[in-house]
C-alpha cells in the first residue's frame, strides 16, 4: 500500500465538498426550540440525583397512560410482543416479510383505531393506508409528492417548529405562513388565507397546498368545523391540496369537540374535491409510542396512495412492530378503555397546569386537546419584540431551569406566547415545575 496523499489544508480547492442539502441551513435546528432540548440534555432534572436540573417542558410526549400499555403488552398479552401461537413459523413469516403495503392485519387495525378515536364519524379503508416511520416521514413524503422544489405550502401560525425541517430541508419546498392572531383564538380566517396566497403569488412562488395540524400544535385546540369547510373550499378554488396532520386526534379531552377533515370528505361525492385531501396520523402522541416510529398517510387520491407506497420503501415500519401493535389495536376492549382513560387523564393534567398558572396571574389560551398549553407571558416582556421574548425565555431556561418553547420558534406573530408541555412527566415533577414558576412570579411581584 502506498502512503496517503498529503493535502495542503490552506488550499481551499482541495476541500471535499458536500451536497447543497448537507450545507443548507433549512434544517431548522438552530431554533431556540432545539436549543432548549440541548440545555435539558446537558443538565436533565431527576427527582433523586439532580433535583435542580432542567425540567423538560418542551417535549410533546404522552406518558400519562403508559401504564395501560405496559400492563397490556407485558401481562395480559405477552405473546403479542413476540410471535403469537405460530412460534418459530411466525418468526420466519415476519422476519422475511417485506411487502411495502405493510401487514394487512396491522393496516386493518390502524383503520379501526382511527375510526374509534373519531367516534365512528368517519370510516377508513385499510387499502388507502400507507405506513411510514412516524409522522415526520409522512409529512415529508407527502411534501415530496405534492410539491416541487421552490413551490410552497401555506401553514397557519403558530406552527410546530419541526415543520421547518420536516417540510423544507430535503424537499426544497418553502413554507408561506398564514398569519393568525389571538383576536379570534388563532383560528384561520378566509382573509388570512387569501393574504398568504397573494404573498406567495407576488413573490412568484407556486402554492401547492395548505397544511394544518388538527388539533393544533402548539395551541392545544381543535379546528372548528366551519374553518375546515372554508379551508377545503379555498383549496378547491385555488386547485391545491389540503393536508390535515391529525396526530393528536385521540388526545382531545372530549371526543365531541373534534371534527376530522375525514368527516367532511365523507359527505362529498365529487371525486375532484376528495382527491385533494390527505391525512397524516401516527401512534407517537395518542398512544405515547414515539420510539416505535409508526406513522400513516391516508389519502383520497389513488395516485398519491400508489406513489406514497412506492416511496415508503425509504421509511418502512418493521414487521415485528406491526405484528405487536396489530394484536393490541385489534383488542376492542383494550382500545376503548385506553382512549377513554387517556382523554380523562390528559384533561385532568391540563386542568392542573392551567389552574396552577392562573393562580400566578398567568393566562393560557383555552385549549381542549393535546399534550401542552399555550401560555401568555406577554405582560412580563421588557419589550414586545422577538428579542424581548427570547430574553425572557433565556431567564426561564437558565434561572428557573424549565425548558419551554418560545412562540417565535413557532413563528407566532404575537410575542410573549410559549408552548408548555405537561404530559411527559410525573404529577410530582409537574408540581415542582409549578412551584418554580410560583417562586419566580413572587420575586417579580416584590421587585
CA–CA separation, 168 and 28 (whole Å) = 9
Answer yes or no: is pLDDT of 1 > 50.
no
Which three three-digit cell numbers place residue 304?
A: 398519491
Q: What are the pLDDT digits (tens) for 169-199? A: 999 999 999 999 999 999 999 999 999 999 9
Q: How does the average pLDDT of the chain come out, rounded? A: 90
Amino acid 91: pLDDT: 60
CB hemisphere CA count around 126 (13 angstroms): 14
Residue burial 319-350, b: 16+ Cβ < 10 Å; e: rest? bebbbbbbbbbbbeebbeebbeebbebbbebb
The mean-pLDDT minimum among 5-9, 133-137, 290-294, 403-407 falls in: 5-9
Question: What is the distance between the terminal CA atoms of the chain, rounded to a whole angstrom?
Answer: 73
Flag whether the pTM goes above 0.85.
yes
- Residues 391-401: pLDDT tens digits? 999 999 999 99
Binned at pLDDT 50, 70 and 90, residue 258 comes out as very high
Give dist(CA 285, CA 252) in Å, integer.
11
What is the structure's pLDDT at 75? 72
Alpha helices in 80-224 (DSSP H): 88-95, 104-116, 135-146, 163-166, 190-202
Q: Given this model, what pLDDT does residue 392 score?
A: 96
Instruction: Cite the active site residues.
Output: 160, 245, 247, 285
Q: With beta carbons less than 8 A apart as the criterion, state whether 277 and 240 touch.
A: no
CB 179 within 8 A of CB 196: yes
Distance CA 197, CA 178 (A): 8
* pLDDT tens digit sequence for 6-22: 445 555 567 899 888 88
Confidence at residue 89, expressed as pLDDT on a 0 to 100 scale: 53
Distance (Å, whole) CA 411 – CA 437: 25
pLDDT at 445: 77
Cβ(345)–Cβ(64) under 8 Å? yes
Amino acid at each position: 500500500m502506498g502512503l496517503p496523499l498529503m493535502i495542503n489544508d490552506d488550499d481551499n480547492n482541495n476541500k471535499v465538498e458536500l451536497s447543497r442539502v448537507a450545507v443548507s441551513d433549512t434544517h431548522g435546528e438552530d431554533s431556540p426550540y432545539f436549543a432548549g432540548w440541548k440545555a435539558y440534555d446537558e443538565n436533565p432534572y431527576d427527582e433523586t440525583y439532580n433535583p435542580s436540573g432542567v425540567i423538560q417542558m418542551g417535549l410533546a410526549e404522552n406518558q400519562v397512560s403508559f401504564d395501560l400499555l405496559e400492563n397490556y403488552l407485558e401481562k395480559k398479552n405477552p405473546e403479542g410482543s413476540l410471535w403469537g401461537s405460530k412460534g418459530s413459523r411466525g418468526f420466519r413469516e415476519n422476519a422475511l416479510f417485506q411487502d411495502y403495503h405493510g401487514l394487512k392485519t396491522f393496516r386493518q387495525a390502524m383503520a379501526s383505531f382511527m375510526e374509534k378515536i373519531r367516534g365512528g364519524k368517519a370510516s377508513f379503508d385499510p387499502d388507502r393506508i400507507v405506513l411510514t416511520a412516524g409522522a415526520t416521514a409522512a409529512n415529508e413524503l407527502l411534501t415530496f409528492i405534492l410539491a416541487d422544489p421552490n413551490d410552497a405550502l401555506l401553514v397557519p401560525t403558530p406552527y410546530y417548529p419541526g415543520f421547518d425541517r420536516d417540510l423544507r430541508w430535503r424537499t426544497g419546498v418553502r413554507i408561506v405562513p398564514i398569519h393568525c392572531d389571538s383576536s379570534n383564538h388563532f383560528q384561520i380566517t378566509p382573509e388570512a388565507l387569501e393574504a398568504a396566497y397573494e404573498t406567495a403569488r407576488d413573490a412568484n412562488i407556486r402554492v401547492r397546498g395548505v397544511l394544518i395540524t388538527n388539533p393544533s400544535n402548539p395551541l392545544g385546540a381543535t379546528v372548528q368545523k366551519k374553518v375546515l369547510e372554508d379551508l377545503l373550499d379555498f383549496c378547491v378554488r385555488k386547485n391545491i391540496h389540503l393536508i390535515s396532520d391529525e396526530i393528536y386526534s385521540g388526545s382531545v379531552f372530549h371526543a365531541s369537540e373534534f371534527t376530522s377533515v375525514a368527516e367532511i370528505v365523507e359527505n362529498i361525492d365529487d371525486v375532484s374535491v376528495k382527491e385533494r385531501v390527505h391525512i397524516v396520523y401516527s401512534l407517537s402522541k395518542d398512544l405515547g409510542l414515539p420510539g416505535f416510529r409508526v406513522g400513516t398517510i391516508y389519502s383520497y387520491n389513488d395516485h398519491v396512495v400508489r406513489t406514497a407506497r412506492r416511496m415508503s420503501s425509504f421509511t418502512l415500519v418493521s414487521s415485528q412492530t406491526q405484528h405487536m401493535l396489530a394484536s393490541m389495536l385489534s383488542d376492542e376492549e383494550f382500545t376503548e378503555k385506553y382512549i377513554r382513560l387517556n382523554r380523562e387523564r390528559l384533561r385532568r393534567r391540563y386542568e392542573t397546569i392551567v389552574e396552577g398558572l392562573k393562580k400566578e396571574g398567568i393566562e393560557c389560551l383555552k385549549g381542549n386537546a393535546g399534550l401542552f398549553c399555550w401560555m401568555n407571558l406577554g405582560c412580563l416582556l421588557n419589550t414586545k419584540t422577538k428579542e424581548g421574548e427570547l430574553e425572557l425565555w433565556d431567564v426561564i431556561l437558565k434561572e428557573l431551569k424549565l425548558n419551554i418553547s418560545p412562540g417565535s420558534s413557532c413563528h407566532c406573530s404575537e410575542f410573549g406566547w410559549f408552548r408548555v408541555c405537561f404530559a411527559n412527566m410525573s404529577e410530582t415533577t409537574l408540581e415542582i415545575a409549578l412551584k418554580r414558576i410560583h417562586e419566580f412570579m413572587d420575586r417579580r411581584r416584590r421587585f
